[in-house]
Homo-oligomer: A and B are copies of this chain.
Amino acid sequence: MSSQSERSTLLDTWAETSAHVFDSMVAANRAAFAALGVEATTDEEVPAERVEPAEDLPEWHAETTTDSPETVSVGDRFEFTKTITDDHVRSFAASSGDTNPLHLDDEFAEQTRFCGRIAHGTLVSGLISAALARVPGLVIYLSQDLEFHNPVRIGDRITAECEIVEDLGNSQYRLMTRVLDGEDVAIDGEAVILIDDLPEE
């Protein structure tokens, strides 16, 4: 499920800092979360990582070709990049219930075809949701097809790329969605979203 509030305000700020259509949307004022964002520890007392609504952590990177719900159209692209840490994998295991040792147990995972732990595919697909959350307007997830092509390792920095490929009418759009891990395609697929108007502020 995806959308955002105050996105246009944020985009206005970002737009002022860049002359490029493909604006860099890196946020820079969330220093409190900097250490947590890259921390990899199994200490059970580590605080849960927290973000505020519509917040971007410093290590995240988002890009978009449009900042206005009125102009969303075929060809618009939305990208989101972050690192997948051990903390993210362990908290997703607890949040989803997927405690597959392929994701959590080094010794087990080393004996599999992957020769080491990998991130949950569903967690990796969450970056697509994060990219779609950067589409201007209140974005509602209608469907998502996923093909898992390559594993993502703990510590990998990955990018979700989404591009609108069809205007389905009634504010619905079909997008090509994929997640890249370096040059490897981790996930390929497509999504359909509905864009509602944002609530009035």
**Chain A interface residues (CB < 8 Å from chain B):** 1-6, 36, 42, 44-57, 60, 62, 80, 82, 87-88, 90-105, 108, 111-113, 118-123, 125-130, 132-133, 138-148, 151, 196, 199-200
Knowing A54-B101, A105-B53, A108-B199 touch, does A147 contact B143 (C-beta < 8 A)? Answer: yes
Cβ A47 vs Cβ B45 within 8 A: yes
Query: What's the number of copies of this chain in the assembled complex?
Result: 2
Closest to A108 in B: B5
A50, A57, A111, A112 — most chain B CB neighbours (10 Å):
A50
Knowing A47-B48, A49-B48 touch, does A143 contact B133 (C-beta < 8 A)? Answer: no
Besides the contacts A5-B102, A47-B48, A49-B94, what 18 more A-B pairs have beta carbons closer than 8 Å?
A1-B148, A4-B99, A46-B47, A56-B99, A88-B94, A92-B95, A92-B126, A95-B95, A108-B199, A112-B138, A112-B196, A120-B126, A122-B125, A122-B141, A122-B144, A123-B126, A125-B144, A142-B147
Closest to A32 in B: B44
Knowing A56-B99, A108-B53 touch, does A129 contact B138 (C-beta < 8 A)? Answer: no
Tell me the bound Cα distance from A139 to B96 in angstroms: 16
Cβ A126 vs Cβ B97 within 8 A: yes
Cβ A50 vs Cβ B90 within 8 A: yes
Knowing A44-B47, A47-B47, A48-B48 touch, does A3 contact B100 (C-beta < 8 A)? Answer: yes
Knowing A57-B94, A129-B121, A142-B148 touch, does A1 contact B48 (C-beta < 8 A)? Answer: no
Q: Provide the residues of chain B in CB contact with A45, threshold 8 Å.
A: 47
Q: Provide the residues of chain B in CB contact with A94, threshold 8 Å.
A: 36, 48-51, 57, 88, 91
Q: Which listed residue, B49, B80, B99, touches A52 by the CB 8 Å rule?
A: B99
A-B contact pairs, 29 of them (CB 8 A): A1-B98, A1-B119, A1-B148, A1-B151, A4-B99, A5-B102, A5-B108, A44-B48, A48-B91, A51-B93, A55-B99, A57-B94, A88-B94, A91-B91, A91-B92, A97-B127, A98-B133, A99-B133, A102-B138, A112-B138, A113-B140, A122-B126, A125-B144, A141-B148, A142-B147, A143-B145, A143-B146, A143-B147, A145-B146
